[in-house]
Each structure stands twice: as structure tokens, then as C-alpha cells.
Homo-oligomer: A and B are copies of this chain.
Amino acid sequence: MNLVLLFQEDFIGDSNLVRLKGHRLAHVRDVLRASAGDRLCVGIAGGNVGEGTIKLLDDDALEMEIKADSHPPHPLPVTVILALPRPKVLRRVIASITIMGVKSIILINAYRVEKSYWKSPFLEKAEMEKQIILGLEQARDTIFPEIMLRPLFKPFVDDELPGIIKGSLPFVAHPAAIEACPFDVKQPVTIAVGPEAGFIPYEIEKLIGCGFKPVRMGDRILTVETAIPALLSRFL
């Protein structure tokens, strides 16, 4: 936790004082081992970042006076379209995509996505928000990414995808691609990543038909967890 993320309900009335309990109190007390007078990096969910000065810290609560007048880091202008991974991987990937600064994530179906993944409790909004908050706290960011679920591949690609990629360079990560994923592109990007076993040829063709260019990341087949930061790194 490099930033303590604050929500409106943390503020005491209309003041600039917050009162925190639970995991944030525990972290500041036990991991950061902070004490009254110390200053911590804070951010207001959806808003500015700044500093909190600890006024009170005991077993019950952490109280801080907040001054948050700086902007959070710029969003990474990349939309990630990801074939729904298995639940354990999904959790880590949502956190890592958030850490890298992406603000738009679309979880889609693909032939090699197990149907049961769509019933995972980790897809519930509250569960995904937990991972997003971990990511924002790590990255010193405050802007939540938007996550859309699209459990039908074909209607998504036919009806929605052309609008989504408009104004961006669309790439699909594909180990069999000839071209390498480019570096340092100076415009928004949409990047599609398949399931662990890859998109099937029909899916790759549908994406190419929609304007996506297949790109590779080196000579090896990466896992989703490795591929996501590797791909996003090209556009940082």
C-alpha cells in the first residue's frame, strides 16, 4: 500500500478529517508502523492525491487531516480486452491491469474459456473492486477502471467492438503472429488477449476482420499474467 485510498464516507462531516478502521488502520499501524504526526500519501477515490497527517492512531481508529490537491497519474490510454481467465488468475490480473494504469477492461468469452468461469464469485462487483483497490493503493492512483463483462463473443465483436476500437490502434496478442508488438506508440491502443490456450482461428479471424493486427511478444508463449504487463509495458 503506497497510498491510502479514501472514500467520501471516511470523511467526518464536511471536514478535511478522515477516520479509518479495518484493513487501512491495520496496515498503517502494523506494516507502516506510523504514529501521530507522520504524513502518508493519500488519494480520494475518483479524485486528487495528496498527504494525510496522522492526528490519532490507536487500536480503534486512524484519524488523519487530509490535503489532496494534486492530480492522480495520467491514465494509460489502453483498453484491455481479455478472454475471461480462471478465477485465481482473474483476481491477480485485475490488480495488475489496474497497477499499470489501464482504465477500461472488457472481459469477453472465447471458445477456450471454461463456462464455469462465468459463474465465479470473483466476477461480482464487490470482489473485483477489492482487487482494483489493491491495484490503486499500489500504483498511487485514484481512478477506478471500468470493467465490462461480455459473455457472448460474436455479438460483442460484430456489434460493439468496432465502436470500442474507434480512434485506437487495435492489436491482438498471438504467439503465431509474425510482427512483434510495437514499442512506444503515440496514440490510444486496444489490446486483445486470449485464454491460456489461445484464441481459436475463427476468433483470430473475426478480430482481424474487425481491424485488429496480430502481434507477438518474443519467441515464447507467455501466461496471461506475464503477457498483460509485458504488453502494457510497450505503451507506458
> Taking beta carbons and an 8 Å cutoff, which residues of A are in contact with B?
2, 73-74, 76, 92, 96, 99-101, 138-141, 180, 183-184, 217-223, 225-234, 236
How far apart are the CA atoms of A120 and B138 in the complex, in Å?
A: 25
Known: A100-B220, A101-B220, A141-B220. 5 other contacts (CB 8 A): A2-B221, A73-B219, A76-B218, A180-B236, A217-B236
How far apart are the CA atoms of A217 and B230 in the complex, in Å?
A: 11
How far apart are the CA atoms of A230 and B236 in the complex, in Å?
A: 9
Q: Are A140 and B220 in contact (CB under 8 A)?
A: yes
Q: Are B218 and A236 in contact (CB under 8 A)?
A: yes
The residues of B that contact A76 with a CB separation of less than 8 Å are 218
**Are A221 and B183 also in contact (CB < 8 A) when A226-B96, A230-B232, A233-B230 are?**
no
How far apart are the CA atoms of A134 and B227 in the complex, in Å?
A: 16
Copies in the complex: 2
Q: Which of B140, B220, B231, B234 is the one whose CB lies under 8 Å from A139?
A: B220
The residues of B that contact A219 with a CB separation of less than 8 Å are 73-74, 101
How far apart are the CA atoms of A226 and B217 in the complex, in Å?
A: 16
Distance to closest chain B CB from A14 (angstroms): 31
Q: Which of B74, B220, B223, B229 is the one whose CB lies under 8 Å from A226?
A: B229
How far apart are the CA atoms of A165 and B92 in the complex, in Å?
A: 33
How far apart are the CA atoms of A2 and B236 in the complex, in Å?
A: 29
The residues of B that contact A100 with a CB separation of less than 8 Å are 218, 220, 222, 226, 230
The residues of B that contact A231 with a CB separation of less than 8 Å are 233
Among A2, A96, A100, A233, chain B packs the most CB atoms within 10 A around the CB of A233
Q: Are A101 and B139 in contact (CB under 8 A)?
A: no
Distance to closest chain B CB from A89 (angstroms): 11
Distance to closest chain B CB from A59 (angstroms): 24
* Chain B: CB-nearest residue to A218: B236
The residues of B that contact A226 with a CB separation of less than 8 Å are 96, 99-100, 229
How far apart are the CA atoms of A182 and B116 in the complex, in Å?
A: 41
Q: Are A139 and B221 in contact (CB under 8 A)?
A: yes
